[in-house]
Amino acid sequence: MANTMTSVFITGATGYIGGSFLARLLVPSYEYKLNISILVRSKEKAESLQSEFGIHSIVGSLEDEDILEEAASQAHIVVNFANCDHLEGAKAILRRLKRRHETTGDVPILLHTSGTGTILADDRGMAITGEIYDDLNPDQIETLPPKALHRHVDLEVVAADKEGYVKSYIVLPSLVFGIASNVLVDAGLARKVSIVLPGSIRFALDRGEVGMIGKGLSVWNCVHIDDNTDAYMLLFDTILAQRNRDIGHGRDGYYILENGQFSWYELAKELAVVLHRQGKIKSDEPSTYTEEELVKYYGSLEMAYIFGTTSRGRGNRIRALDWKPQKLAQDLLATVEAEVNNSTA
């Protein structure tokens, strides 16, 4: 397989997670030969990616179903890092992969990014409830209601695998943290931070205190961006090496990425300590957002309350492939000052 050119189409390839993945594929020592196409929104970015890295970039978005279908039709592997709640975009990709299968007999691969928001419990910062989901237990995952976050797209992806025209692998990162460092970030062509901490920093600077939902008692799993990328690469390489017969796909193809657990209070407290020490806010203790503030900062109560939920999973399936993450929850807290410095520079 190492001597065969494999066609790959990537959406969300200049985002925080997607950019880190794409940068790994560009390393000269990477053993597999790939014909990579990516979807980008900006014509200027597409031109830069082509001229600086030789990456074939297609200008468009998940709204452009014709563009998506055409790009997907040319790929044996589609890797989706873009909006995991965009159902019509996912359907457009699946339609074309189905047609590719019917026309050529190829069984294409869809590596889809979801998230552990799908397993959350609505605790609003006041408790720790809900199940701990094991990705080696598909029966447990199938108890998730269709209205769970991200679930409507995940179900479409699994259904396609069941029909047999695609092999699907659904990756569920937990809260991804850390400042990404790679050639695309250095070139200003990929995002280097997630949205959670930068958003909390902006809100804190505006209100003079770090905010949290309720008492911040609820907990989430987390994973460092480098460990997260290691997991994607491990799964991707396993597929390329034609070892995918030995790993779960479809119903058995959920891969939770986690290595540690933090409470929303712990994160808010560390952020408050750092911002207060730097003289940017008035208190080193976080305070509870009012409903008015939640709407102001997050756009709606529904969106805001996600940041007070509990989400706990166990990434046993990817560990069975010998994934060995290095960073823990204490490393999340240790990166807060770097995130502050990056956001306030």
- Residue range 241-293, pLDDT digits in tens: 976 567 999 999 999 999 999 999 999 999 999 999 999 999 999 999 999 99
The verdict on residue 98 lying in a domain is: yes
Token pair for 39: 């979807």
What is the reported pTM?
0.97
Rounded-to-10 torsion of CA 303, 307, 309, 315: 110
| Mean local confidence (pLDDT), 102-111 | 96
For Cα atoms 260, 10, 192, give the angle at the middle one, nearest 5 degrees. 50
The verdict on residue 264 lying in a domain is: no
The verdict on residue 315 lying in a domain is: no
Q: With contact defined as beta carbons under 8 Å apart, do 183 and 26 qualify?
A: yes
Reference 153, options 215, 109, 94; nearest CA is 94
Q: What share of the chain is helix, strand, coil (3-state, %, to 5)?
A: 45, 20, 35
Q: What is the DSSP letter of 62?
A: T
pLDDT score at 245: 63
pLDDT score at 1: 43
The verdict on residue 161 lying in a domain is: yes
The verdict on residue 126 lying in a domain is: no
Rounded-to-10 torsion of CA 141, 146, 152, 155: 50
CA distance 224 to 238: 21
pLDDT score at 272: 98
β-strand partners of 132: 312
Q: What is the residue-averaged pLDDT of the chain?
A: 96
- In whole angstroms, what separates CA 208 from the centre of its chain? 30
- Tell me what percent of the residues of the chain surpass a pLDDT of 90: 96
Q: How many domains does the chain contain in total?
A: 1
pLDDT score at 244: 58
Judged against a pLDDT cut of 90, whether residue 345 lies above it is answered with no
pLDDT in tens, 214-250: 999 999 999 999 999 999 999 999 999 976 567 999 9
The verdict on residue 338 lying in a domain is: no
Task: Tell me the residue range of the domain where 42 lies.
Answer: 6-121+132-191+224-258
Q: With contact defined as beta carbons under 8 Å apart, do 24 and 229 qualify?
A: yes
Using CA atoms, how far residue 143 sits from 72, 92, 113, 133, 172, in Å, is 31, 27, 20, 10, 16
Judged against a pLDDT cut of 60, whether residue 2 lies above it is answered with no
| Mean local confidence (pLDDT), 152-181 | 98
The verdict on residue 147 lying in a domain is: yes
Q: Given pLDDT bands bounded at 50, 70 and 90, which one contains residue 205?
A: very high
What's 244's domain CATH number? 3.40.50.720
The verdict on residue 285 lying in a domain is: no
